[in-house]
């Protein structure tokens, strides 16, 4: 893969299609602080969308209701292409909307403190707790259980039942802000929390929220973490250029990835687990072959790119968040230059851009058809992901990389050009 292009004229790039936004109600208290939407999240089954709308409040909205209120229908199909919608929570009595018949309920949750991190978790009954000595548990999570974990400014983690809005667990062990939360995608309800107290903590919710392990290794604040699709590897990123990979079967450090020149604040694996994207204040998103520890692609937000000695300085191109699309081909990034960029791993320049003042975070919907981005004023904006049909070669590559590591692919008796394609060295 190639790195930085020589130049990018963002005025010549296509504009992403804006489809709507969620607005926060006017609060009766101070609007100058604590209103940021630090995190947005989609439920794994696509049933709910959640965002921290500031001032301790998290809104849980059925995603189908969100789509119907905008100009996009189910599956990302445009139903009214002429006018984006502004779905305001102010029009709802008490901040809650009366649900449609048969629709999942909507909830507004007061978490008691500023919400920095948030994650959905779903249970698979066959996945047993790792604590085999416990014969009795207070909570028995069923197949249809859907949980929401919220990480707070006071270091606590609160676990909520999404369908009822009931508080189930209150986890207390961090000594500083819980910046990010991520559930293992295998349905085991293993939760990892990243905190500015320099630690990652692993919690087993099937063991009533017992803390399984503390992961030490970050020299400074930990900002974000992400599981690989098979739940075997965890990536954590933080201050002091840190990108760390962990073996989650043994809870040991695999390696540190070196390449960023400033704090790294966001990370996410590709759907096939072959690629890792990290976003940094050094104005770059780096796409890694994490199994080899090598850089495959650099997505620059400042041209010409700053030299390492200046990359850590004050500028208006700090990258705040990065997200991988479900198609494995598109990446979105949010930066301080008031732009959201949609990238393709097959191109060196953004495919599309969108205007977003004061963006903080972003996440793709479960199908990858819509991108949500939170802002400093607590609102959330939505865009359609650029559409293109994936090649059969790419789909076959994703299917293979879900079960084969880079080292295993390199050992296959195939021609070198095919090997480079399968390892993403050539797209």
CATH level 2 (architecture), domain 10-74+101-390: 7 Propeller (2.130)
112 CB burial (10 A radius; 0-12, 13-18, 19+)? middle
Which pLDDT score, from 0 to 100, does residue 356 have?
95
Classified as helix, coil or strand, 162 is coil
**CA angle 308-218-311, nearest 5°?**
15
pLDDT in tens, 138-163: 666 666 789 999 999 999 999 999 99
Structure tokens at 14: 């296509």
pLDDT bucket at 76, cuts 50 / 70 / 90: very low
**15 CB contacts (<8 Å, ≥6 apart)?**
352, 353, 354
pLDDT > 90? residue 58: yes
DSSP lists the bridge partners of residue 222 as 238
Q: Which of 27-31, 56-60, 65-69, 211-215 has the lowest mean pLDDT?
A: 27-31
The closest of 58, 14, 267, 27 to 150, measured between CA atoms, is 58
pLDDT in tens, 204-247: 998 889 999 999 999 999 999 999 999 999 999 999 999 999 99
Phi and psi of 226, rounded to 5°? -155, 140
Distance CA 263, CA 238 (A): 6
Which pLDDT score, from 0 to 100, does residue 14 have?
80
Which is more confidently placed, 309 or 423? 423
Summarize the confidence of residues 104-113 as an average pLDDT.
90
Half-sphere exposure of 386 (CA within 13 A, CB side): 22
What's the per-residue H, E or C state across 84-148?
CEEEEHHHCHHHCCCCCCCCCCCEEEECCCCEEEEEEEECCCCCCCCCCCCCCCCCCCCCCCEEE
pLDDT in tens, 244-297: 999 999 999 999 999 999 999 999 999 999 999 999 999 999 999 999 999 999
Phi and psi of 73, rounded to 5°? -95, -170
List the domain boundaries for the chain: 10-74+101-390
Which pLDDT score, from 0 to 100, does residue 66 have?
87
Query: Per the confidence metrics, is the pTM higher than 0.75?
Result: yes
**309 CB contacts (<8 Å, ≥6 apart)?**
none
Q: Is residue 358 a contact partner of residue 375, using CB atoms and an 8 Å limit?
A: yes
Classified as helix, coil or strand, 418 is helix
Distance CA 104, CA 48 (A): 9
Share of the chain above pLDDT 70, in %: 81
């Amino acid at each position: 893969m190639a790195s930085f292009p020589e130049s990018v004229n963002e005025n010549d790039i296509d504009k992403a299609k804006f489809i709507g936004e969620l607005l926060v109600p006017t609060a009766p208290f101070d609007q100058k602080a604590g209103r940021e939407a630090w995190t947005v999240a989609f439920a794994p089954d696509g049933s709910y969308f959640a965002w921290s709308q500031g001032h301790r409040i998290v809104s849980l909205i059925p995603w189908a209701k969100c789509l119907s209120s905008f100009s996009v229908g189910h599956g990302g199909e445009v139903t009214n292409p002429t006018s984006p919608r502004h779905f305001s929570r102010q029009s709802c009595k008490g901040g809650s909307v009366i649900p449609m018949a048969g629709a999942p309920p909507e909830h507004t949750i007061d978490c008691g403190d500023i919400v920095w991190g948030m994650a959905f978790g779903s249970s698979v009954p066959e996945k047993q707790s790792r604590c085999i000595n416990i014969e009795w548990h207070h909570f028995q999570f069923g197949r249809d259980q859907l949980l929401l974990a919220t990480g707070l400014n006071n270091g606590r983690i609160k676990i909520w039942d999404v369908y009822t809005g009931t508080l189930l667990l209150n986890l207390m062990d961090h000594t500083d802000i819980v910046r990010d939360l991520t559930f293992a995608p295998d349905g085991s309800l293993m939760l990892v929390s990243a905190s500015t107290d320099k630690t990652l903590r692993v919690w087993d919710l099937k063991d009533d929220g017992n803390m399984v392990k503390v992961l030490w290794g970050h020299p400074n604040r930990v900002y974000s973490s992400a599981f690989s699709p098979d739940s075997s590897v965890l990536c954590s990123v933080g201050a002091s250029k840190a990108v760390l990979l962990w073996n989650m079967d043994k809870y040991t450090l695999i390696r540190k990835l070196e390449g960023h020149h400033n704090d790294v604040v966001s990370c996410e694996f590709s759907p096939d687990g072959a690629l890792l994207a990290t976003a940094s204040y050094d104005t770059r998103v780096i796409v890694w072959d994490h199994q080899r520890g090598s850089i495959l692609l650099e997505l620059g937000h400042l041209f010409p790119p700053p030299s390492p000695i200046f990359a850590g300085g004050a500028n208006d191109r700090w990258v705040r968040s990065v997200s991988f699309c479900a198609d494995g081909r598109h990446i979105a990034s949010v930066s301080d230059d008031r732009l959201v960029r949609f990238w393709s791993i097959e191109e060196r320049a953004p495919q599309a851009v969108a205007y977003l003042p004061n963006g903080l975070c972003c996440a793709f919907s479960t199908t990858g058809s819509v991108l949500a981005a939170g802002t400093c004023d607590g609102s959330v904006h939505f865009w359609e992901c650029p559409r293109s049909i994936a090649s059969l070669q790419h789909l076959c590559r994703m299917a293979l990389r879900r079960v084969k590591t880079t080292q295993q692919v390199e050992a296959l008796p195939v021609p070198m050009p095919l090997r480079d394609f399968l390892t993403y060295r050539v797209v």
